[in-house]
Amino acid sequence: MSLFRKPAKPTPPARSNGEILRAYENNENITREECRILYDLVEDPWDLGSEVHYRSYARLIEVTAKYVDWANTDWVLDYGSGVGTFTRALKDAYPHIKSIGIDFDKARAAADRRFGKDLFDRYYEMNAHVSEYELVRTGLPDMDLGRLCVCFINSTYYMFTEQRRRQRIAHFSRLLSCFEARAQSDAMRYLLVTANNTDRAAVDAINTRGAELVYLSRDLELASRVEQFNSELHTRVWVS
């Protein structure tokens, strides 16, 4: 082992539900597991399922249609699907598209309450002990996803930032590889949307796929009824 390897990040002490809720209300950083717990504490975290949030995603889908051929897309991977607002807006615009959701078990329950249990065509749940990596490695069936668009909508922040950047790049690439192997490689699209900040590790991982960046914009905003959760969207589209 190298003498120069950086030590692991210290694990912060667990916060109470009240402390998690206060951090959320003050728009402060929360951990991956705290994000999962939040779905039990707040009916609609970050106003995700609101009508104004839905309209923001509908506008995102409309704008990116020039770069993502939604009409000829068979599947989307909605990674960090939350309560399902992006998938709902996409299916309303393009009913033929099938969606794979990946998020916390508690987010799945919130999505079922908000949009019904038939929203996702497949869903993979993470919990306190099972990450998306175990799910993808052991639970993804050998299926043909046809023309696939991998969508990361405001998800990389909570899924990856507790790891060092090199680990995030490696894990992100591994996740992409699992789905690329089941899709038509000549029809791959990648959509990365982040609010207020962009995870450079996510950008670097997608760039290693040999894909071409065809769209980069900060023109869109993520609207919310709660003013502190309004944010600028950093939107990128790659084509393989």
How many domains, the chain?
A: 1
Residue 30 identity: I
How many whole angstroms separate alpha carbon 47 and alpha carbon 45?
A: 5
Residue 35 within a domain: no
Question: Does 87 map to a domain?
Answer: yes
Give the structural domain span for 175.
46-239
Residue 18 lies in a domain: no
In the prediction, which pLDDT does 214 show? Answer: 95
In a domain, 36, yes or no: no
- Per the listing, tokens 């998690």 go with 20
32 inside domain:
no
Q: Are the CB atoms for 211 and 221 separated by under 8 Å? A: no
The model's pTM is: 0.86
Write out residues in the chain with pLDDT < 70, as ranges.
1-12, 136, 139-141, 157-163, 185, 196-198, 222-230
Mean pLDDT of the chain: 83
Q: How many residues does the chain have?
A: 240
**Type of residue numbered 208:** T
Contacts of 112 (CB under 8 A, 6+ apart): 119
Q: Do the domain assignments include residue 95?
A: yes
Which residues have a Cβ under 8 Å from the Cβ of 73 and sit 6 or more positions away? 94, 97, 147, 148, 149, 189
Question: What pLDDT is stored for residue 189 in this prediction?
Answer: 94
The DSSP code sequence of 44-86 is SGGGTTSHHHHHHHHHHHHHHTTTS-GGG--EEEEET-TTSHH
Is the residue at 214 inside a domain? yes
Query: Does the residue 194 lie in any domain?
Result: yes
> Looking at residue 9, what is its pLDDT?
61
Domain harbouring 158, CATH code: 3.40.50.150
